Amino acid sequence: MKRWLLALLLLPSLALAEGPKYGHSDPNDAQEFQNLYNDLRKLFNKTIPTINAGTVNASTITVSSATIADAAIAKEVVQVSTINALSMNAHKITGLANGTAATDAAAFGQIATPFLLSAPVFSSSSVKTSNASTTYVAAGPSATITPQSSSSRFIVCTSGELLNSNEAVSNAQLTIFRNSTDLDVTGNGMTRPDSSTFLTRYTSICLGDSPATASAVTYQVYIKRQQGTSTISYTADSGGKSSMAFIVVLEVK
């Protein structure tokens, strides 16, 4: 019934396009109705492409409005079974607005980038380093990383055993350097166990750093004694034997 109503609506346009084909003859004329019937069949059979099993049987499909309503295409016209893949090669969809609902597509700007911008740099060492002076010396493993850009930020974590040979008279100090720069802002070390309470201490430090350079940077633990006459050792247990220390650097968003 709907198709016949549509045919009646389209009939004036069809008549204008085809010319005065039906004339003004008697409406009871059987040939006139046969001509109308044949033209309507042609109209319905050739204007709507069919989508069947993933294949569009038309060279171009144009959507003139922003939205196709659910009932705009008759279900018997579109026959879709399975869409396995859509290859776009080097092409892309542009003009996609940010999605606002769970069923919307997400624009590129809404897709979260990874927390890590590069692979973590990890290093470990069991080589013991000792220092009997009040000047910092490098100890334990180091980690070198090249920033993705001068605005990169890093998380630096290190852990290892710190030994003080004479805890009664000296404090041990431990810090992290970036290249030749001490990242401790206090001047007293990032960790400084009291001399009266420890002989060896397993120390762990994590910090954030923004080196403001795109050139390679190296992070490493440095140790020294604060005062007195003791010797400070890194990666050494209470018996003076070597132990394991590590450092890891993460470049983060």
Does the pLDDT of residue 10 top 70, yes or no? Answer: no
**How much of the chain, in percent, has pLDDT values that exceed 90?**
29
Give me the residue label for tokens 């050494």. Answer: 236
DSSP one-letter string for 82-136: -------TT----SPPPP-STTSPPPGGGSPPPSBSS--EEEEE---EEE-SSS-
**Which of 25, 29, 32, 74 has the alpha carbon at shortest distance from 51?**
74
Name residue 52's beta-bridge partners: 55, 79
pLDDT digits 0-9 by tens, 154-174: 999 999 988 888 777 778 889
pLDDT digits 0-9 by tens, 58-67: 545 555 544 5
Statement: the pTM of the whole predicted model exceeds 0.75: no
Cα separation, 62 vs 69, in Å, equals 15
pLDDT digits 0-9 by tens, 105-139: 877 777 766 677 888 999 999 899 999 999 999 99
SS3 43: helix
Cα separation, 153 vs 145, in Å, equals 11
- Predicted confidence at residue 245, as pLDDT, reads 93
Q: Which domains does the chain have, with CATH numbers?
A: 2-84 (no CATH), 121-252 (2.60.120.1340)
Top pLDDT among 239 and 103 is at 103
Please report, as a single letter, which amino acid is at residue 15: A
Q: Are 134 and 173 in contact (CB under 8 A)?
A: no
Top pLDDT among 184 and 2 is at 184
